[in-house]
A and B are shown apart, each in its own frame.
Chain A
């Protein structure tokens, strides 16, 4: 299996999913397109491109040749982002950023407690002050007013 074949297969599956999901919407006619017309047309195009890629992807590198050495960091960063999605309006901006940075800098990068906490506090409160107070960008405070 080559990298291009694998990625093209994912695109094909995605295009089929879009076509399937469009069944809830009126397709319209060739002369009078409905809300599903353009999405179905685009998904069909994606399907054609995907199939063409599968057919022409013989010379691409093999799937096993891909290196994923950064996967631990990537996963930790994505988890931090997911945490931010759920926490930012519940805990407030500063507490969310503080916890996220402590996790990344202390937990992932193995820095000392003092430098991790100094950095996390500085970033969380410094960026809040700059954007919320100076630039007047609205940011959530959280239930503790924090």
Chain B
């Protein structure tokens, strides 16, 4: 424990350096704007601003990007509560009761509880990250290629299982993403695969153009030309204070949301989105008056908002300790770290403690900055939505083009963004999830490499995956998830995702 506190002291000495503090602040402000604006979620926001971090040192870059991530979580709740527009997908559940509270003249307390819940969840979950990541990293030193293969496979299966709509569709999307990840030079033999003479494809398809295409551009394609709401209700500062009863009603949902969000965050998938859905369902089930939900229950704001912020920290656990992204956002952050010559994984914490602990400490600082920023300045942030959408979407498009081009200075990346944008548009029209595509693309090279290395280690024997206990446990869990998803289909029962309202259809209705 004393070692942890000593490390944290080192971390704060890094995080409180004026330049790092400045980047945490800038990240939080930009993240809040990203969260407020419908159409740019945290993934597209981080991808677009990735090139801007190239000129910074590694710690400042990662602090800036992390600030954008959890800033977007805060910002997304503002428009959900005031205008019923989820700035990003994780805020969909906040729209339901948050907006009802606004209609009843209680927008201030809803915003305050969302911000305070997010702050508490964010801070507590960082403690979890701080305590869990180092031992997990030590444990991961025992991992060889078979364990990594089993872990990555499990990650994809969990993502498919936890995703909204049909698991079959999610698995198909994961397979599609893995196939896209096959493009480029085969690392074992040096053969060019599916590159059609384009030298730029030798290193494979980049994460950033695909993420911006699938998430940013496809959103613009779907929403451009549609009318948008312009009515903005801005609460005054003195109206923000919740009543005593609202405080009492919010405490337990915040606590449950924090724990739930952190645990879901560790599991691969779109954790911040899933956690808010699950938290809302749990609060509704535990409530003595579930009929209040949907009509302005503050628990419906406190739980999901705490959960999605807590999940943000949870998602950093496998990223920092194992070097394995638990979703598309940590994957882009890993890409950012690699640009700066840092390889996240079991050795990061021991070899670069100032970076790891500086990052942890900056998250504490960032959460405080967001709390201070969000409540008094809420009126300023929502003004962004006054920009007419016919001007806003071309501006977002410019940032998409700029962000994608700047990563490698390659027009081919712009072509990939355009193609994946069109693909994402089509997939979303046909109710397919796009997150498994991105995760598959990122995991494909690691998965293939660990699979073929495992076979090389065992002279071609597949028994290596079941003879090693850690790999066996992970593969068994993955198989169990597959079977669990097949049971409701065979028995014609409603599965847990439908019971919790995770079906894609329901998400759309809420929007």
Residues of A close to B221: CB separation below 8 A: 70, 73-74, 77-78
Residues of A close to B406: CB separation below 8 A: 131, 137-139
A32 near B175: Cβ-Cβ < 8 Å: no
Beta-carbon contacts under 8 Å, B321-369 to A: none
**Once bound together, how far apart are the Cα atoms of A14 and B422, in whole Å?**
16
In angstroms, how far is the closest chain B Cβ from the Cβ of A22? 8
B193 near A25: Cβ-Cβ < 8 Å: yes
Contact A137-B52, Cβ < 8 Å, known A69-B225, A88-B401, A88-B405? yes
B431 near A3: Cβ-Cβ < 8 Å: yes
**Once bound together, how far apart are the Cα atoms of A125 and B260, in whole Å?**
46
**Once bound together, how far apart are the Cα atoms of A104 and B224, in whole Å?**
11
**A121 close to B (CB within 8 Å):** no
Contact A70-B225, Cβ < 8 Å, known A101-B398, A131-B406? yes
Interface residues of A, count at CB 8 A = 66
Which one, A4, A49, A82, contacts B171 given CB within 8 A? A49
In angstroms, how far is the closest chain B Cβ from the Cβ of A130? 9
B398 near A127: Cβ-Cβ < 8 Å: yes
**Once bound together, how far apart are the Cα atoms of A52 and B225, in whole Å?**
36
A101 near B394: Cβ-Cβ < 8 Å: yes
In angstroms, how far is the closest chain B Cβ from the Cβ of A54? 11
B418 near A82: Cβ-Cβ < 8 Å: yes
**B131 close to A (CB within 8 Å):** no
Beta-carbon contacts under 8 Å, B131-180 to A: 166, 168-169, 171-172, 175-176, 178-179
Q: Closest residue to A38 on the B side, CB-wise?
A: B448
Residues of A close to B52: CB separation below 8 A: 131, 135, 137
In angstroms, how far is the closest chain A Cβ from the Cβ of B117? 34
**B182 close to A (CB within 8 Å):** yes
In angstroms, how far is the closest chain B Cβ from the Cβ of A134? 9
Residues of B close to A34: CB separation below 8 A: 189
In angstroms, how far is the closest chain B Cβ from the Cβ of A61? 9
Place the interface of chain B in its size category: 35 or more
B397 near A77: Cβ-Cβ < 8 Å: yes
**A1 close to B (CB within 8 Å):** no
**Once bound together, how far apart are the Cα atoms of A123 and B220, in whole Å?**
18
Contact A38-B451, Cβ < 8 Å, known A53-B169, A139-B402? yes
**A23 close to B (CB within 8 Å):** no
Residues of A close to B429: CB separation below 8 A: 66
Which one, B225, B390, B452, contacts A33 given CB within 8 A? B452
**B30 close to A (CB within 8 Å):** no
Residues of B close to A119: CB separation below 8 A: 391, 394
Residues of A close to B217: CB separation below 8 A: 77, 81
Residues of A close to B390: CB separation below 8 A: 105, 108-109, 111
A68-107 vs B, CB cutoff 8 Å, 1 = contact: the mask equals 0110111001101110111011000100010011001100
**A42 close to B (CB within 8 Å):** yes
Binding site for A on B (CB under 8 A): 51-52, 54-55, 166, 168-169, 171-172, 175-176, 178-179, 182, 186, 188-189, 191, 193-194, 217, 220-226, 390-391, 393-395, 397-399, 401-402, 405-406, 409, 411, 414-415, 417-418, 421-422, 425-427, 429-432, 448, 451-452, 455, 459-461
Besides A8-B172, A11-B176, A97-B402, 16 other A-B contacts (C-beta < 8 A): A7-B432, A29-B460, A31-B459, A33-B452, A39-B179, A42-B175, A46-B175, A46-B176, A49-B171, A53-B169, A81-B421, A100-B394, A100-B398, A105-B391, A123-B395, A137-B406
Binding site for B on A (CB under 8 A): 3-4, 6-8, 11, 14, 18, 21, 25-26, 29-36, 38-39, 42-43, 45-46, 49-50, 52-53, 56, 66, 69-70, 72-74, 77-78, 80-82, 84-86, 88-89, 93, 97, 100-101, 104-105, 108-109, 111, 119, 123-124, 127, 131, 135-140
